[in-house]
Structure 1
Amino acid sequence: MAFQKLAKLHEIKEGEMKVVSTRYTRVALTKIGETYLAFEDLCTHDGEEISCGKLVGEVITCPRHFAKFNIRTGEVVSLPATENLPVFKTKLNGDDLEVDLED
C-alpha cells in the first residue's frame, strides 16, 4: 500500500466533493458521517466527471446519462453504466486524509 496525502480534513465537507488531480487520475473526496471516501472522478460509462453529479447519501448520479454508483463500494446501482466505479482506501493521519491509489 502506498498512501498519499491528498487533503486536509477541514477541506472535505459532509456531502460535498473535493476533487484532487494526481499523476494517476482525478480523485473525488467526500465525507459521510465520520467516514472519508475516495473514488475515481470518471463515470465508467462515458468518462464524465462524476463529481459534478448529484450525491444523495452514498449514491452519486452521473450528470450526463444518469448512471448511479455507490461511492462506498463502487458498485453500479443503475444503468447505463455496467462497470463499477474505482474506489480507494483512505486513512486519517493527524489532520490529513491519505488515499491508497495503488490498491
Structure 2
Amino acid sequence: GADWDSDRDTLLPGYREEWEAARAGRAGDVVGVTGDGTNDGPALRAAEVGLSMGISGTDVAKEASDIVIMDDNFSSIVKAVTWGRCVFDNIRKFLQFQLTVNI
C-alpha cells in the first residue's frame, strides 16, 4: 500500500477517494484541492475546499470548485485568508463589545 501520510500533499487527480478511505476515522484533517482541468473535477468536488483557476481553468473545474482564483495567482489565496482572518477578528471584537455594553 501507499504511504498516504507522506504523499498527501502531492496527490494526483483521482486518488483523493483512496486517500480519504485511508484516513477514515482521523479527525482534524482538511483536504484542499487545486485544479484547472476537466480531470480535476471529481477531486475538486470531493474536497472540503476546492480551488480552481479562473483564467486557465475549464468550466468543469470552475463549476466543481468552491473558490475560483480569478487571476490564477496562488498569492491571492494568502491575501484572501489574511483578509478573512481580519474580518473574523473584527466581528469577534464587535460582538464582545456589544455584549459588554448591553449588560
TM-score by length of 1: 0.24
Q: Which structure shows the higher strand fraction?
A: 1
Higher relative contact order (CA 8 A, sep 6+): 1
Q: Which structure shows the higher helix fraction?
A: 2
